[in-house]
Structure 1
């Protein structure tokens, strides 16, 4: 079939500004004429001819509605813009960690990932597209800002007609585009990632632990997202777990009406099953496989903050770190500071970065960082440049195998050693944008006044004295780039904190996130809800949350 390259006139769309991890909108928006084409052209132009001409790009997504239509557009536009080769997961499926691994192991020039991550899927819900650079990590601010600038003035895009690829069939597809070869390799979506996990963890020990003489009681939940095939291959085929140990392992366009966000609210089925059943560990992963939730016996919840810090404390029991060494740790600013105490004990650097995995990449590439995480259920290491849900579950299995203790015992031992950072996050989703912006402006004006420092707030018998109030900014220690307006912080003298942010991962309206962290050095075994109540009440009072959002309660409490 003849391949014809066309240049198609177009006009800009408002609002094609990538958030912390790409562009996310409703499916109906991406399906509008020229909308997806415009955004893909912006990615390719921002990358530049020196990257795109003759390049290899990895392409895949989380299986959600509109995936195959988007990949078809990416194939045809990549061909028209001079890309030489694409590697695409079978059926379009590739987890975000798998894309990062494939970019790195194949020395690709980057990758395009079709995902809205933990946002719901289906024809009436969300879709998303993001670009990952040649290090395998999300595009940095300078790149996404360039994309946005191009999106505001775009006049045309290039697309090749006559290219059709069957994503169901593994194999090589070759085309001639204006006299130059263009190759699309449809690959096994799972193999590369599984091999990487086998290099990081001791699968021999884990297999004996999971399926030996006393099999581990597990419930691993893919939430009908992209991780299903990876979960089945790793936990069942490699580690010997039974089929009953893994659930919701078929990627579905609407996630089977499950919400692909692994938290206590949206992964309710997993929480209920562990609460009622006799399980040693439960784990769930989000739509694209980069987030995780870890539960112990009777649904004992490990906060992402504690999960990161505990993995850091036991980092030496993972073969990858014993072989390569441990250079430093990092956490996003809203993430509780439990990790900082581990870093101090191990005499290692610890970095506090803005929200968004892209801020960890430079530190990893400079060998200043090997373990990092975010309170939003993201944990990972420098084995790739993305957070990695299945990796986190395997890390916990390694710690359990090493200590011969339960998840609850491991967590409580950690608190007794370091103290406990009681933590919660309140999400107010799809609020009106204008009043939320006004709330943030008014709050910033309040907390950055000099007289705010030293002010005392009391509630429920607790008194908190302000040490600092600011709008967090970050200077990258590697390239000197500066990120400003990254979240409002109220830090108290005992280390407790209130943090407020407007999220960049929603597809419509405003999502307000309020983070509450109360540190206790010795009183570590109380109910988190009770220990946090005084500071929650203070935060609601200072922010005037109800006035600005019109909400009596958050959409999600984590």
Structure 2
């Protein structure tokens, strides 16, 4: 073991999903080493404990894992468990932390961001409950990065990550394991695979792995376990640059899947996951289920699934996510919570047993089986519900709207905006909030306008400045916030929501239904004129 002198780098503050930068930033000498050493300096429980390490296979994943293992050994970690070829989906890491009672895990991913030498890279630490580290830990890590002056590392050769088995690095044991096996076992404990297999017998599905980490997981589940033909999984081989694509499951970047599902001979079921396997989308023939609607459907039908047949105690959603699941919760007589964006905010509620299902509008949903969002879990939830109800995706969502009404919902992203202009939008609206209540715009009267603060009901902590909300008496609203997942400029997000009761018009075009709310949002917040954009970069 040697100690290497170093100096701090600016800007190593973890965001909602860890530290994300361009690959070239991480390739700077000592950049990754500083951040990793800061993790070990801030989490003393890792010394003598077990650490899970893996990532989504993006460019620099293999190099980073070797560095992390050498630093882990030098810092007294007793055992590391690594996925074969360095691969682990984010939900698989969460499961393995819990299964092995590990002290934590290091996940290498920038999720849905592009990969390759010119793309993005990311690293985050998950705690011993399997979830993203709480703010107290990420704040401590960041504070350490600001003052770090040395890191510890062992001078050893790289480990062959392709060979399953056990080896040693210094005094540390390194176990290379099949990245899929334990995850598949967990899924079999939750779902009725026989019922799903019977549902899909003779039917076609299309799962788009987007050249990312869920390819091996989906192949094991759909092709090997459920007996579907090999072509059921497309883009199933993980690639360092995601095949030159963008592993974000939405209509723009999953175009091949959407073209298939909106074709004349569309398969019975379609789905996709993202770079690290924690997000999902679900489609039926000629229909796309919005993530907000998906969460509500899963909550309403959870008892159809063996793992939740006794009911769920509560649900939670991120603040920008549509309020569709709130109505379900009220109907079921269970608790529902509104949290800031960022999966770590669900952790306390899950650990306390207050909720069993949670989700975000950005294609994330999961339950109390782990402490991360889980794309394949959500897709299997849908399939199990379809099998139980003997219905199609379209039938299930139509029945849902007829029961609860429909929340027309959309997110407009303005990506790569100059930070000063994005800040100007947020400041300009913030200064207006107090004066908006009671005013009428078009046919909408403002009932509430605030900067969302979250009071954690479990530990009493408070998180301020989590997004600007303008709500109307009709139940419609818009939300504006800055995203922490981009690596270039700022990403400004506008969320639009309009509630239509169950006896209203449930078959409108989404953007048409939301146009009045979008026009009001522009009148009040002046996003387009401030950032000098005629249209959003992406509408989802």
Q: Deviations over 1:29-77 (max 9, x none)?
A: 00001000011011111112xx021010000000000001100110000
1:457 aligns with 2:451: no
Q: Distance in 2 between matches of 1:520 and 1:464?
A: 14
- Secondary structure of the structure 1 residue equivalent to 2:524: helix
2:519 counterpart (534, 537, 542): 537
Q: Distance in 1 between matches of 2:60 and 2:42?
A: 24
1:546 aligns with 2:534: no
1:141 counterpart (135, 152, 171): 135
Pairing of 1:266-305 with structure 2 (within 5 A): 266-276=253-263, 277-298=265-286, 300-305=287-292
**Residues 156 and 169, structure 2, Cα contact 8 Å, conserved in 1:** no
Pairing of 1:257-336 with structure 2 (within 5 A): 257-276=244-263, 277-298=265-286, 300-322=287-309, 325-336=311-322
- Secondary structure of the structure 1 residue equivalent to 2:13: coil
Q: Distance in 2 between matches of 1:528 and 1:435?
A: 28
Q: Deviations over 1:439-468 (max 9, x none)?
A: 101111111x2x31111111xxxx111011
**Further displaced range: 527-536 or 374-383:** 527-536
1:525 aligns with 2:507: yes
- Secondary structure of the structure 2 residue equivalent to 1:220: strand
Q: Distance in 2 between matches of 1:359 and 1:83?
A: 28
1:154 aligns with 2:148: yes
**Residues 16 and 151, structure 1, Cα contact 8 Å, conserved in 2:** yes
Pairing of 1:388-467 with structure 2 (within 5 A): 388-447=374-433, 449=434, 451-458=435-442, 463-467=443-447
**Further displaced range: 145-154 or 116-125:** 145-154
Pairing of 1:90-105 with structure 2 (within 5 A): 90-105=84-99
Partner in structure 1 of residue 495 of structure 2? 515
Pairing of 1:198-213 with structure 2 (within 5 A): 198-211=188-201
Q: Distance in 1 between matches of 2:158 and 2:117?
A: 24
**Residues 54 and 88, structure 2, Cα contact 8 Å, conserved in 1:** yes
Using the size of structure 2 for normalisation, the TM-score is 0.98
1:479 aligns with 2:459: yes
| Structure 1 consecutive aligned stretches of length 4 or more whose deviation exceeds 4 Å | none
**Residues 73 and 169, structure 2, Cα contact 8 Å, conserved in 1:** no
Partner in structure 2 of residue 35 of structure 1? 31
C-alpha displacement at 1:278, in angstroms?
A: 2.2
- Secondary structure of the structure 2 residue equivalent to 1:367: coil
C-alpha displacement at 1:547, in angstroms?
A: 2.3
C-alpha displacement at 1:506, in angstroms?
A: 0.8
Q: Distance in 1 between matches of 2:237 and 2:537?
A: 28
Q: Distance in 2 between matches of 1:140 and 1:272?
A: 40
Change (3 A) 1:492 1:184: same
C-alpha displacement at 1:322, in angstroms?
A: 1.4
**Residues 225 and 260, structure 1, Cα contact 8 Å, conserved in 2:** yes
Structure 2: tracts of 5 or more residues without a match: none
- Secondary structure of the structure 1 residue equivalent to 2:197: helix
**Residues 210 and 240, structure 1, Cα contact 8 Å, conserved in 2:** no
- Secondary structure of the structure 2 residue equivalent to 1:284: strand
Partner in structure 1 of residue 232 of structure 2? 245
- Secondary structure of the structure 2 residue equivalent to 1:326: coil
Partner in structure 2 of residue 85 of structure 1? 79
Q: Distance in 1 between matches of 2:363 and 2:392?
A: 20
Q: Distance in 2 between matches of 1:294 and 1:175?
A: 43
Q: Deviations over 1:518-555 (max 9, x none)?
A: 01112212111211111111112211112221111111
- Secondary structure of the structure 1 residue equivalent to 2:222: helix
C-alpha displacement at 1:163, in angstroms?
A: 4.3
Partner in structure 1 of residue 338 of structure 2? 352
C-alpha displacement at 1:397, in angstroms?
A: 0.5
Q: Distance in 2 between matches of 1:315 and 1:52?
A: 36
Pairing of 1:60-209 with structure 2 (within 5 A): 60-176=54-170, 181-209=171-199
**Residues 37 and 73, structure 1, Cα contact 8 Å, conserved in 2:** yes
C-alpha displacement at 1:209, in angstroms?
A: 1.4
Partner in structure 2 of residue 12 of structure 1? 8
**Further displaced range: 227-236 or 140-149:** 140-149
**Residues 292 and 378, structure 1, Cα contact 8 Å, conserved in 2:** yes
- Secondary structure of the structure 1 residue equivalent to 2:154: strand
Q: Deviations over 1:504-525 (max 9, x none)?
A: 1111210000000001112212
Q: Distance in 1 between matches of 2:88 and 2:169?
A: 23
Structure 1: tracts of 5 or more residues without a match: none
**Residues 488 and 500, structure 1, Cα contact 8 Å, conserved in 2:** yes
- Secondary structure of the structure 2 residue equivalent to 1:540: helix
**Further displaced range: 32-41 or 403-412:** 403-412
Q: Deviations over 1:331-384 (max 9, x none)?
A: 000000000010001000000000000000111110001001000000100000
- Secondary structure of the structure 2 residue equivalent to 1:161: coil
1:236 aligns with 2:223: yes
Q: Distance in 2 between matches of 1:140 and 1:508?
A: 25
Q: Distance in 2 between matches of 1:85 and 1:557?
A: 44
**Residues 195 and 388, structure 2, Cα contact 8 Å, conserved in 1:** no
Using the size of structure 1 for normalisation, the TM-score is 0.95
**Residues 15 and 485, structure 2, Cα contact 8 Å, conserved in 1:** yes
